Amino acid sequence: MTAQLIDGVALSRQLRGEVAGRAARLTAEGHRPGLAVILVGDDPASAVYVRNKVKACEECGLHSVLERYPATLSEAELLARVAALNDDDSIDGILVQMPLPRHIDAQKVIAAIDTAKDVDGFSVHSAGTLTTGLPGLRPCTPYGCMKLIESTGRSLKGLHAVVIGRSNTVGKPMALLLLQAHATVTVCHSATPDLALHTRQADVVVAAVGRRNTLTADMVKPGAIVIDVGMNRNDEGKLCGDVDFAAVREVAGWITPVPGGVGPMTITMLLFNTLEAAEARRAGA
């Protein structure tokens, strides 16, 4: 059996169309959704990420502000900028690009963002709403993975999902979102003795490790949904995921490619979160 490809580029395009339509309606009512992105330092990868985020905003009709500061910016100065954006009515979402320079406490900065504007969903408050099942902003990458799984048309209710990885930004929120969708969830990590024992029983596998070939064909149940979050380089320097794509494709039922799977969805869900934050603020205004 050859798996069906879950096309993150096509799904992103479709969802961005929806964001653009809803953003246009809000704009017509006098409230154009706005995202502020703060970049501290000159890490080249971070610069590319924030440029892509700002460009995606513009393409969907969202207002965006990019604030760039030198790596010497003090923690107090950054906190003051976050406070100013919290009070700025034209801004619905605030994203502080990670990593921050060492002298700045990232947790303190994330905690300073107005919870209604935490479009990265990284704050303790957002994590709490996810854990308790309350409405709130969800971390973009796992939120995008859920949309990719939904696009297969399979209900998660009663399925066994295995998440490989337990980071606060991907693995843990992914597990909670799957749980909320009524999957039975197993979370694996670097201290899991026999990873294959778990993945072989899984109807859904989400690999979020950062090590290529973590999931090989012998570890996958025939027909499973395989979501590859990993971003690695192969020996030729090409982008690849955590999954041995060519071989797993012959066993799985659905699979995301890398590139073209989870990657495009992450920015799309940031736009989605900004739009939803704008709609919520407007409804509460």
List of residues contacting ligand NAP (CB under 6 A): 141, 164-167, 169-171, 188-192, 195, 208-211, 214, 229-232, 262-263, 266
CB of 253 within 8 A of CB of 1?
yes
Nearer Cβ to ligand NAP (91/224): 224
Which C-beta is closer to ligand NAP: that of 64 or that of 268?
Answer: 268
Residue for token digits 């982008």? 239
Write b or e for each residue in 192-217: b if 16 or more Cβ atoms lie within 10 A of its Cβ, otherwise e: beebeebbeebbbbbbbbeebbbbee
| Secondary element (H or E) of residue 10 | helix 8-28
State in angstroms the smallest separation of the CB of 83 from ligand NAP.
28
In the complex with ligand NAP, the residue whose CB is nearer, 26 or 243, is 243
97 tagged catalytic: yes
- Among residues 53, 147, 172, 221, the one annotated as catalytic is 53
* Cα 97 to Cα 66: distance, rounded to the nearest angstrom: 11
Known catalytic residue: 221? no
Cβ 116 vs Cβ 281: under 8 Å: yes
Nearer to ligand NAP, 91 or 119 (CB): 119
Beta strands in the chain (DSSP E): 4-5, 34-40, 63-69, 93-96, 160-164, 184-188, 204-207, 225-228, 232-233, 239-240, 254-255
d(C-alpha 132, C-alpha 142), whole Å: 17
Catalytic residue among 92, 114, 118, 120: 120
Residue 10 CB, shortest distance to ligand NAP, in Å, is 16
Q: Catalytic: which of 92, 97, 114, 203? A: 97
Q: What angle do CA 65, 274, 263 make, to 5 degrees?
A: 90
Q: Tell me whether residue 180 is one of the annotated catalytic residues.
A: no
The smaller minimum CB distance to ligand NAP, of residues 10 and 83, is found at: 10
CB 207 within 8 A of CB 241: yes
Residues acting as catalytic residues? 53, 97, 120
